[in-house]
C-alpha cells in the first residue's frame, strides 16, 4: 500500500463520511455546510497526521538499533 493508495482511501472515507452526514442529519443547507466543513477538516487532519508519519518512515535516515539486553 503506497502513499497514493492510502491517500485515496482517506479521500473515499471523507466522501463517505460527508455523504453520511448529509443523509443522516440533513438540517437545511447551512447546517449541511457546517457538517461538511467539519467532516473535511477532520479528514484532512487525520490524513495529515498519517501522511506525516508515513513520509517520515519512507526513507529512514536512522534505523531501529535494538537494546543489548534484548
| Residues lying near other proteins in the complex (CB under 8 A) | 1-2, 6, 29-31, 33-34, 36-38, 40-46, 48-50, 52-68, 70
Q: What is the nearest approach in angstroms of other proteins to the Cβ of residue 15? A: 13
Asked if residues 32 and 22 have their Cβ atoms less than 8 Å apart, the reply is yes
How far apart CA 48 and CA 29 sit, in angstroms, is 28
Q: What is the nearest approach in angstroms of other proteins to the Cβ of residue 14? A: 9
Asked if residues 6 and 57 have their Cβ atoms less than 8 Å apart, the reply is no
Q: What is the nearest approach in angstroms of other proteins to the Cβ of residue 10? A: 11
Amino acid at each position: 500500500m503506497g502513499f497514493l493508495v492510502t491517500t485515496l482511501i482517506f479521500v473515499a472515507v471523507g466522501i463517505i463520511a460527508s455523504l453520511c452526514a448529509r443523509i443522516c442529519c440533513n438540517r437545511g443547507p447551512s447546517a449541511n455546510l457546517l457538517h461538511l466543513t467539519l467532516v473535511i477538516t477532520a479528514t484532512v487532519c487525520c490524513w495529515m497526521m498519517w501522511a506525516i508519519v508515513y513520509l517520515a518512515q519512507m526513507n529512514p535516515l536512522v534505523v531501529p538499533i535494538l537494546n543489548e539486553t534484548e
